[in-house]
Chains A and B, each alone.
Chain A
Amino acid sequence: MEILIVLEDNHGSLHRMSKEAIAGAQKMGGSVSALAIGSNAESLAAELSGTDLTEVITVNHDLVSSYNADGYAEVVKQVVETEGPKTIVAGHSYQTRDFMPRVSAKLDIPFIPDIISMDDGFVKQVLNAKLNASVTTGSGQMILSFQSAAFSEDDIVSGECAPRSFDVDLDSSIVRSQSEEPFQEAAGDVDLESADLIVSVGRGIEKEENVPLAFELAEVLGAEVSASRPVVDSGWVESFRQVGSSGQNVSPKLYFSLGISGAIQHVVGMKGSKNIIAVNKDPDAPIFELADYAVVGDLLEIVPKLIEALQTE
């Protein structure tokens, strides 16, 4: 095999980033296989039965029934040593970050993380995404991880593939950690930096009484709410919602800005957003230079209508 995708189990089904990794791997050319580890390995493989892959290798051993770094790293190493792929690929998730460096050291091969494109070598962001770097390896084998949304699961090529189980050699001298059950914590400060959808409100909202409009729109969209500095300074939203050079840095799939002019202090905190819809009365607002969709109009008129329209969808 040429490319091996290491899949991730997200509470019983395939992690979105694994699907994106498949799409990316399929673009690279060469035979692509996948590896599923853990007690859900077979059902993950079943999810991919209609995908164009050579096969899905499944590993289900007691010591890796659920995720742990020691075990997963060792499993990947053993599979790679047996199957000999040139490239190992995964989504750049927290889990990949946790164990893939171990694989890199075990196999003595480079791990190029958080790749955003493969158009010009392996491209990753550097210096807080101010610049991009094209990375090359001299090595034969390599490990790559793809940034969230670098590729789209819509681009997965369909086909057929079957699972094949693989036996690994694991014992407690290798798997030395003990993990407890994952748990969720009561929502404290919202982590805007990992939010996928954001509705952001600026001075154009005019009054504190209008701010709930933004929250309503966010709710209908399943989005988080952020704000530009002046809104936070006026005390209309909590300070942890501030986006910008002195606030949070966000790069959601959708950044829906309402009444934000686009001063540079704000823009640096959100220009990595994948899709930007900006609503502003002022046709010359700097935010329009950044937006994918520039809605020139009165947000106080548009947003209530939009909320209504979305509720009927």
Chain B
Amino acid sequence: MFEREVLEVDILFVGAGPASLAGAIRLRQLLRETGKDASVGVLEKAGEVGAHSLSGAIVDPRALRELFPDKNDQDFPFEAEVWEEHLYYLTGNRKIPFPFIPPSMKHHGCFVASLGKLTRWLGEACEKDGVDIFCGFAGTELLYDGDQVIGVRTGDRGIDKNGTQKPQFEPGADIHAKVVVLGEGTRGSLTKIFLQHHKLMDQRNPQVWAVGVKELWQMPLGSVQPGYVAHTMGFPLGHDVFGGAFLYGMKNDIWDLGLVVGLDYKNPGVDSQHELQRLKTHPWIHSLLKEGKMIAYGAKSLPEGGWYSIPKLTASGAMLIGDSAGFLNGQRLKGIHLAMKSGMLAAETISQALEENNFTETKLKDYEDRMKSSWIRDELWKVRNFHQGFDHGLLGGLTNAGIGLLTGGRGWGFKDRLTSKAGHLQMEKGLKIDRYQDLQFDGTYLFDKVTDVYHSATAHEEDQVPHLHVNEPDICITKCTEEYGNPCNNFCPADVYEMVPDGESQRLQINFSNCVHCKTCDIMDPYQIIDWVPPEGGDGPTWINL
């Protein structure tokens, strides 16, 4: 019973998101073309594909069309083609349309989609094609032979909150693979270690992040036109916090409302879930949602750094794809097509590597070359300095972006590369301000965090060591309280971190069971003492069509 299962596959993708699934499908296509066979596995920590997938989203169909040349757009699991789009500047009670929408922010020709639905669809295509998707298994360690990655170890099951083995203890399994492709999504936990181990971020801009929080609203029959798209700036974030809102019309009369908040704000009191509630106080939003019922909530971070924050992508036996590598176009607000394309390019390299039986870094580097001569590069190069402009506030960012449109992406028109600063370093000591004093949660339209989290249907095995490792907990009740006022209570969109009274002072309570796996804490904690590691396989949110 205590024996570790050992499994051999040829290629292992970690994370059943769009990057890995597209990669696995592409790989099987190539193997069929060359008449070869190889076993392809995908590891997924959620109990089922799609349960941990969350995005807005508007999908550029380019990658899907390339991956499935025989299919039509109607075959893809989209909600609807974008047919009406708006860009607004919001004040507390007005909405002002932008005089024009820059072409890069036009979404015509793209599709409103649910990432959860899309990944489930891709997952089914994978399984039909003989790919094994192992759900409920979290990759917790990379296995090495010298400097070569040779596989992934999955997490143990059945360890209680004190770290002791329970009767149903099962050690994690070792999966050996010729290539491990890390498609863990945003702020991947294996990726974080992988980047450090191989120094893959050397000479790159530090990655900068944002967090997206969203609610799905079920509206009465016939009241939502699928394919409606609106993006906003201004209220509630104002000019000093990067981000904006999105409102997408989905099928079945569902409004998809969300807010992206840059994780590089100065005020430690910023709370993305509260900001989303503030957004709903806007009369225009209220007029749209008031007859409806909130049916789901979720949150996820996103890598906003762009081109210069993309790490070196390979080491011997391993590659990075998708959001784990930072392939997101912050200006177009799209990353799914880039994630898929990166997976597909990785598959092409892997197919060759299998032919030559060579999985060293020298061979796998071919993936990076392919990426640099693909449309991923074309697209991301043009917006390589997008996020950095916002270090100077909203107007600065828009100006920089505008000039960038005319200069092929040069920072402020002349600089090839603008640097960036890690977001958690932007938080200012002693500056915690409460932006939410006027916010009243009524439980039917405006929700407190605990109620919102309930609608993520997140659950964790209660009797386990919390998967949020706070490496120096003393800081929480001393330095952090003084300097930043314990911002974890605010930046976590799931009410995981709570300062509770403890006799005369206080202590940090970690309600890990609420965690929605957004990774914001790992990103934003000012002392970088929080390590998010995967909980027991199968734990986490159960998102359906988020």
Contact = CB atoms under 8 A, between A and B. Distances in A.
In the complex they form, do A and B come into direct contact, defined as C-beta atoms under 8 angstroms apart? yes
Interface in A211-264: 233, 239, 245-246, 263-264
Nearest to B454: A264
A239 B462 contact: yes
B443 interface: yes
B148 interface: no
Contacts of B443: 286
A107 B454 CA distance: 46
B511 A263 contact: no
A246 B450 contact: no
Contacts of B463: 239
Contact of B509 (A233, A245, A246): A233
A239 B160 CA distance: 13
Contacts of A263: 450-451, 454
Contacts of B451: 263-264
B46 to A, nearest CB: 17
Contacts of B511: 233
Interface string B174-207: 0000000000000000000000000000000000
Contact of A264 (B450, B462, B509, B513): B450
Given A233-B509, A233-B511, A286-B443, A245 B462 contact: no
Nearest to B459: A246
Interface in B443-457: 443, 450-451, 454
B511 to A, nearest CB: 7
A233 B509 CA distance: 9
Chain B at the A interface: SS class? mixed
B113 to A, nearest CB: 28
A265 interface: yes
Interface residues of B, number: 10
B462 A265 contact: no
A245 B450 CA distance: 13
Contacts of B454: 245, 263-265
Nearest to B457: A245
A209 B450 CA distance: 27
A135 B462 CA distance: 38
Contacts of A264: 450-451, 454
Contacts of B459: 245-246
| Chain A interface residue bracket vs B | under 10
A271 to B, nearest CB: 13
B47 to A, nearest CB: 15
Contacts of B450: 263-265
Contacts of A245: 454, 459
Contacts of B462: 239, 246
A286 B450 CA distance: 13
A154 B280 CA distance: 51
Interface string A16-58: 0000000000000000000000000000000000000000000
Contacts of A239: 462-463
A265 B514 CA distance: 11
Interface string A271-286: 0000000000000001
A121 to B, nearest CB: 25
Interface in B498-546: 509, 511, 513
A139 to B, nearest CB: 35
Interface in B405-460: 443, 450-451, 454, 459
Most buried by A among B454, B511, B513: B454
A246 B456 CA distance: 13
A102 to B, nearest CB: 36
B315 to A, nearest CB: 40
A209 to B, nearest CB: 13
A156 B443 CA distance: 42
A284 B379 CA distance: 53
Nearest to B509: A233
A233 B460 CA distance: 14
Contacts of A233: 509, 511
A263 B452 CA distance: 11
A220 B443 CA distance: 36
B338 to A, nearest CB: 37
Contacts of A286: 443
Contacts of B509: 233
Nearest to A264: B454
B536 to A, nearest CB: 14
A246 B542 CA distance: 14
A69 to B, nearest CB: 33
B281 to A, nearest CB: 19
Nearest to A244: B454
A213 to B, nearest CB: 20
Nearest to B443: A286
A297 B511 CA distance: 28
A246 B454 CA distance: 11
A221 B25 CA distance: 63
A62 to B, nearest CB: 45
Nearest to B498: A230
Interface string B453-491: 010000100110000000000000000000000000000
Nearest to B447: A264
A264 B443 CA distance: 9
A111 B450 CA distance: 42
A238 to B, nearest CB: 12
A262 B462 CA distance: 21
A233 B462 CA distance: 9
B88 to A, nearest CB: 32
A263 B447 CA distance: 11
B139 to A, nearest CB: 25
A246 B451 CA distance: 14
A265 B513 CA distance: 12
Interface of A: 233, 239, 245-246, 263-265, 286
Among all A-B residue pairs, the 10 with the closest Cβ atoms? A264-B454, A263-B450, A264-B451, A265-B454, A246-B459, A286-B443, A246-B513, A246-B462, A239-B462, A245-B454
10 contacts: A239-B462, A239-B463, A246-B462, A246-B513, A263-B450, A263-B451, A264-B450, A264-B451, A265-B454, A286-B443
Given A239-B463, A246-B459, A246-B513, 15 more contacts: A233-B509, A233-B511, A239-B462, A245-B454, A245-B459, A246-B462, A263-B450, A263-B451, A263-B454, A264-B450, A264-B451, A264-B454, A265-B450, A265-B454, A286-B443
